[in-house]
């Protein structure tokens, strides 16, 4: 049979979820019919006799197989040196399971075992690249973290198919428990790679494997086989011999073979290796190993073992895992019974204590199977002193181990390692606020002891908690402007029970605004809007200390000033008979910063002197259609702040001149210079004959479309220039252009020189 650990054929079996694991190069369709595979599982209780697993699984034909843990070997296919031909699948694991010794939980137990296992393969012919590497059908016992640990036990039903195919396409795999249709998109080794593990659930839940495809059991046609268990002398029955290949029966579909058909042809095998031990109907002898300890000093070693079993049972023990004598026996010493189910054994004068003892329980009268349990020996820890003194708030722990020869380290749980002085070890814990109820001391040799703490002296009487002191607070703001106050900043607690928090916050009177919590230490007060007179708002709160005690109420007073009007400043502008947009708010202000400001209540110029309009932000002056002589006109507006406050009217003076007969306009230079780090310098300049109220707007072509570069004013000299340096947002195209428009309506488009 395949002696390699199954888990190593595709990673640890304990990492699979309840699903099929498929290679990336194919898709899978399962086309087998439904069938009642397994019908039942041992309901428990589960004992160490079977490693904490169910004793048996039963198929739909009422055949029960037990967890195969016998070291019986085949009389049909003798094994090689170092590789016995076991009838059970027992895979050695260095440091964990030695198959040369009896199998005992938890000290000599393999990471995986089986209730049932059937395997086969089909080697390739020549270099065809067409083979079945392995087919596996089994009910497996494993551990969640791989190595044997009580509480990690799991079981699952596994179907695994690994095949290499030389050609892509659709393949059909017929096997004893179903039919798989696989679409292979990448040929080669393990092009078909299916692992389907059903039943892995929470440790200790073994029902899930019943939902797998396994069952009824496959059986070797030469079986059943009987072999003698070398550890117990019992004759055992098996449904197959995993050391020989043979035809099988038992497939629910009468497909007692594995066949692969597809573009590469067909390959088939009718032989398998099968492992499965028929259930021994006798129950295991109940036994509990309650204590296995040792002590030693200069006079020798003493081993003590305590166990519990039915009163009619016989218990014996041995030092170490190996059987004793010839013929091999599990018994080296007999445990004495008190005839009430309690058993005890002790040995003296051993120079070195054994690492492991094995207790075997049998009951010839009750007709049960022998049960073997193992345990590592531990020392006996005794806490001689566990005392807390209120006077110095000091805890003293003194303890000793029963091993007085190789004195092991002792650790006080939660406090640290004890200091050694001969066989007595101690630790002193200073500044401990109060005594613990008990202390636990653990030994490096496995022993432990829990001792109640003796308390010396009286606990100090704590003074009654005093309420915190909340002080009055004062704040000031103006209408519509919220203010945040840290009310606890000037508060205190006489006992130092901090941090303080705010509680019982009240609201100001009607029409005086509102207050809300801002976290646990501050509040935000929002005054009303539109008040034209000063007002005072009051509210209260209590401070709460860390123990929940509240202060007396403290009053918070907020002085609220009325909203102050913004200031609209006068302006003077000029135009050459063309409409002019004026940013009248540019030089206006609000004393409280209640912005943005807006334009309202504009008046019109004198009749025949043009008109004005506003969008709320700017004012546009439009002169008469015909201006033949220069004149000056005025209009007014008011600035309004964000709270509705109005300024006194601001006056705008407009100097209007006749429009020039024609504008003479030129672009004398247009360049863009590339700098490091994707920066650009733009420089565009020219001249205009219109020097009063004339502005120039420049738009350029960029990698994101046409963008406005900026606006320049024509100087009294007639020259204008727009320069933008280190721009990272206005990136020129490969052949950029610039379109320049004056406020007189003149437009020029020129090429921009890239430097």
Task: Tell me the mean pLDDT in the region 375-402.
Answer: 96
CATH topology of domain 473-560: Immunoglobulin-like (2.60.40)
The mean of the pLDDT values for the chain is 92
Q: What CATH class does 288-378 carry?
A: mainly beta
The average pLDDT across 29-51 equals: 76
- Asked if domains 380-456 and 571-656 share a fold, the reply is yes
What the block records as the tokens of 112 is: 């995986």
pLDDT computed for residue 28 by the predictor: 54
First CA to last CA across the chain, in angstroms?
A: 82
Query: Does residue 189 register a pLDDT over 70?
Result: yes
Place of tokens 């019908």: 39
Under the banding of pLDDT at 50, 70 and 90, the label for residue 380 is: very high
- Bridge partners, residue 426, by sequence: 398, 419
pLDDT confidence tier of residue 536, bands split at 50, 70 and 90:
very high
Q: Does domain 571-656 have CATH number 2.40.128?
A: no
Domain residue extents for the chain: 6-278, 288-378, 380-456, 473-560, 571-656, 665-754
Lowest pLDDT segment from 131-135, 154-158, 300-304, 591-595: 591-595
Q: Does domain 380-456 have CATH number 3.40.50.620?
A: no
Neighbours of 487 (CB within 10 A): 22
SS3 sequence, 301-369? EEEEEEEECCCCCEEEEEECCCCECCCCECCCEECEECCCCEEEEEECCCCCCCCEEEEEEEECCCCEE
Per-residue pLDDT at 29: 54
Res 26 pLDDT > 60: no
- The answer on pLDDT for 11 being more than 90 is no
* % of residues, the chain, pLDDT over 70: 95
| HEC-encoded secondary structure of 424-469 | EEEEEECCCCCCCCEEEEEECCCCEEEEECEEECCCCCCCCCCCCE
* 3 state DSSP class of 554: strand
With the CA atoms of 497, 501, 504 and 508 taken in that order, what torsion angle do they form, in degrees rounded to the nearest 10?
130
Where does the pLDDT of residue 264 fall: very low under 50, low under 70, confident under 90, or very high at 90 and above?
A: very high
pLDDT beyond 90 at 181: yes
pTM score over 0.75: no
Q: How far is it, in rounded angstroms, from Cα 340 to Cα 486?
A: 75
Token representation of residue 13 = 């079996």
Q: Which residues lie below 8 Å from residue 642, measured CB to CB, with a gap of 6+?
A: 480, 594, 595, 596, 597
List strands edge to edge, sheet with 178-184: 26-30, 178-184, 169-175, 258-262, 265-269
CATH class name, domain 665-754:
mainly beta
* 599-623: average pLDDT: 97
Q: Are the C-beta atoms of 334 and 441 separated by less than 8 Å?
A: no
State the pLDDT at residue 151: 93
**pLDDT (mean) for 98-121:** 94
For residue 225, give every residue at least 6 positions away whose Cβ sits within 8 Å of its Cβ, in sequence order, or none. Answer: 74, 76, 87, 237, 238, 240, 241
Q: What is the pLDDT of residues 658-674, one digit of tens each?
A: 988 788 999 999 999 99
The SS3 of residue 743 is coil
pLDDT at 203: 83
* Rounded Cα–Cα distance for residues 370 and 390 (Å): 56
């Amino acid at each position: 049979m395949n002696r390699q650990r199954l888990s190593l054929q595709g990673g640890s079996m304990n990492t699979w979820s309840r699903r099929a694991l498929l290679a990336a190069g194919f898709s899978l369709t399962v086309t087998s019919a439904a069938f009642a595979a397994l019908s039942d599982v041992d309901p428990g209780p589960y004992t160490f006799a079977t490693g904490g697993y169910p004793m048996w699984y039963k198929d739909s034909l009422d055949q029960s197989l037990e967890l195969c843990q016998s070291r019986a070997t085949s009389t049909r296919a003798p094994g090689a040196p170092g590789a016995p031909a076991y009838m059970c699948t027992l895979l050695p694991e260095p440091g964990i399971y030695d198959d040369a010794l009896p199998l005992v939980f938890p000290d000599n137990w393999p990471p995986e075992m089986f209730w049932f296992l059937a395997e086969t393969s089909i080697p390739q012919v020549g270099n065809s690249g067409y083979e079945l590497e392995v087919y596996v059908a089994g009910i497996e016992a494993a551990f969640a973290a791989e190595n044997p640990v009580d509480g990690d036990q799991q079981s699952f039903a596994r179907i695994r198919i690994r095949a290499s195919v030389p050609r892509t396409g659709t393949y059909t795999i017929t096997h004893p428990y179903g039919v798989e249709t696989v679409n292979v998109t990448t040929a080669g080794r393990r092009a078909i790679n299916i692992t389907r593990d059903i039943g892995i659930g929470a440790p200790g839940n073994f029902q899930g494997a019943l939902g797998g495809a396994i069952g009824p059991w496959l059986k070797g046609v030469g079986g059943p086989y009987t072999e003698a268990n070398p550890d117990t002398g019992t004759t055992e029955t098996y449904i197959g011999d995993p050391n020989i290949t043979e035809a099988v029966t038992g497939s629910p579909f009468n497909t007692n073979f594995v066949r692969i058909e597809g573009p590469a042809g067909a390959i088939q095998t009718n032989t398998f290796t099968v492992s499965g031990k028929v259930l021994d109907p006798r129950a295991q002898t109940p036994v509990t190993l309650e204590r296995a300890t040792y002590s030693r000093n200069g006079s020798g070693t003493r081993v003590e073992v305590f166990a519990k079993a039915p009163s009619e049972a016989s218990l014996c023990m041995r030092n170490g895992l190996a059987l004793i004598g010839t013929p091999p026996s599990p018994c080296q010493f007999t445990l004495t019974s008190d005839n009430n189910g309690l058993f005890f054994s002790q040995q003296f004068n051993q120079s070195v204590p054994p690492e492991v003892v094995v207790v075997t329980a049998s009951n010839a009268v009750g007709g049960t199977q022998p049960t073997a349990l193992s345990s590592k020996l531990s020392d006996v820890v005794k806490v001689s002193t566990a005392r807390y003194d209120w006077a110095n708030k000091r805890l003293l722990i003194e303890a000793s181990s029963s091993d007085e020869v190789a004195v092991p380290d002792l650790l006080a749980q939660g406090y640290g390692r004890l200091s050694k002085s001969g066989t007595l070890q101690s630790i002193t814990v200073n500044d401990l606020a109060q005594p613990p109820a008990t202390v636990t001391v653990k030994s490096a040799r496995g022993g432990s002891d829990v001792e109640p703490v003796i308390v010396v002296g009286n606990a100090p009487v704590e003074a009654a908690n005093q309420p915190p002191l909340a002080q009055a607070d004062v704040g000031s703001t103006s209408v519509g402007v919220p203010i945040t106050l840290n009310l606890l900043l000037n508060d205190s607690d006489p006992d130092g029970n901090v941090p303080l928090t705010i509680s019982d916050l009240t609201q100001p009177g009607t029409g005086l605004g509102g207050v809300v919590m801002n976290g646990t230490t501050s509040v935000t007060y929002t005054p009303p809007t539109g008040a034209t007179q000063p007002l005072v708002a009051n509210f209260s709160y209590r401070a709460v200390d860390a123990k929940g005690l509240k202060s007396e109420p403290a009053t918070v007073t907020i002085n609220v000033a009325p909203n102050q009007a913004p200031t609209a400043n006068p302006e003077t502008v000029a135009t050459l008979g063309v409409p002019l947009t004026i940013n009248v708010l540019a030089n206006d202000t609000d004393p409280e910063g209640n912005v943005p400001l807006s334009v309202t209540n504009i008046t019109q110029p004198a009749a025949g002197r043009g008109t004005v309009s506003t969008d709320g932000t700017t004012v546009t002056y439009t002169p008469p259609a015909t201006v033949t002589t220069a004149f000056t006109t005025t209009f007014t507006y008011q600035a309004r702040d964000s709270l509705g406050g109005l300024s006194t009217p601001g006056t705008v003076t407009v100097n209007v001149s006749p429009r020039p007969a024609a504008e003479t306009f030129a672009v004398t230079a247009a360049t863009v210079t590339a700098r490091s780090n994707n920066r650009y310098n733009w420089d565009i300049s020219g001249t205009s004959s219109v020097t009063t109220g004339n502005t120039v707007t420049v738009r350029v072509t960029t990698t994101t479309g046409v963008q406005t570069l900026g606006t320049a004013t024509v100087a009294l000299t007639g020259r204008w220039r727009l320069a933008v340096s280190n721009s990272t947002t206005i990136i020129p195209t490969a052949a950029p252009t610039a379109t320049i428009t004056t406020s007189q309506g003149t437009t020029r488009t020129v090429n921009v020189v890239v430097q």
